[in-house]
Amino acid sequence: MINQSVLNHIKQIVPVENLLVNEPMSRHTTFKVGGPADLFIRISAKEQLISLVPFLRKLELDYFVIGNGSNLLVGDRGYQGVILSISECLNGINIKDDCIVAEAGAMLSRVSELAASQSLAGMEFASGIPGTIGGAVVMNAGAYGGEMSSITESVLVMDSKGEEMVLSNETMEFAYRNSVVKNRPYIVLAVTLRLAKGDAAQINQKIDELKKRRREKQPLEYASAGSTFKRPPGKFAGKLIMEAGLRGFSIGGASVSEKHCGFVINEGNATALDILEVIKEAKERVYDRFDIKLEPEIIFLGDF
């Protein structure tokens, strides 16, 4: 619980209308589940983060930065700490020549559409990923043969002391669904992308083709966090889960998608615990049958 003196100090940094006490996280995740966060803060300027993070760290208060909540499962009992939300306000985008500078809260889909409008190629793969640019570089998001590592020139980050630094592509230490930011107490503030001049019609055609493939192969009609598991070396998580006999397997309101077994979905009335138990069952069944350990892509936060 956030006491009044702490709340009063935070009100000096962030407008009071951007502070939500005991805010249900089900409103802020694509899984549509999650109990209340002690304090939910809508960040509207990076200066707020620069002031808030060292303050919270000094008080040893837990905090977590979210974008679109598209890679996150928050427990039913909520999160005892402060959620710093960047997607609603910290989302500016600037384009100059073949470079795009996007603030961390900018949606990948929006950046991709703006790139296409300027005949810039290279972001087509990201057009259907339901996350923010900040989260995408943290986990080196990718799809259909493309990854953020291939188009990221540099990343502006902030450390836990509120100090800013620029990380080059090489310094980011990109790997499959991983980066240096994922493993250190850095917060992404903005990302510089280097794209290539192309033909607008061809770029938009590719985006349309990938959107069609997603609609046909992914359970987009249900709440989910996208692909639930990382791809095991030389294998596909969805295929392993299907071959383990878990297509359509359900607990409560959560299930393994019949359309694509790599997705755990909320059929409408799932709890976070339901989803967690389906994930655990998939991991156990695949390990028992194939001796392969599935690793979730999603982040687990709070108390279940």
Sheet holding 264-266, edge to edge: 223-224, 264-266, 254-256, 250-251
Cα–Cα distance for residue pair 143/237, rounded to 1 Å: 14
Helices (H) and strands (E) in the chain, counts: 7, 19
Of residues 51, 152, 56, 174, the one with CA closest to residue 104: 152
Cβ–Cβ under 8 Å, residues 293 and 283: yes
CA 103 to chain CA centroid, nearest Å = 14
| Contact call for residues 134 and 188 (beta carbons, < 8 A) | yes
Question: Residue 51 to residues 78, 79, 188: CA-CA distances in angstroms?
Answer: 25, 22, 15
Instruction: Taking the CA atoms of 237, 241, 242 and 244 in sequence, report the sign of the dihedral they define.
Output: positive
Query: Which residues 6+ apart lie within 8 Å of 34 measured at CB?
Result: 24, 25, 26, 28, 73, 74, 75, 76, 78, 79, 272, 302
The size of the chain, in residues, is 304
Catalytic site residue from 87, 227, 255, 257: 227
Strand 72-74 to 299-301 pairing: parallel
Is 297 assigned a catalytic role?
A: yes
- Concatenated DSSP letters for 252-267? TTEEE-SS-TT-EEE-
**Helix 4-11 / helix 46-58 crossing angle, nearest 10 deg:** 160
Q: What is the distance of C-alpha 281 from the center of its chain?
A: 23
Least Cα distance to 105 among 94, 114, 95, 92 occurs for: 92
Please identify which of the residues 177, 179, 255, 285 carries the catalytic annotation.
177
- Residues with a known catalytic role: 177, 227, 297
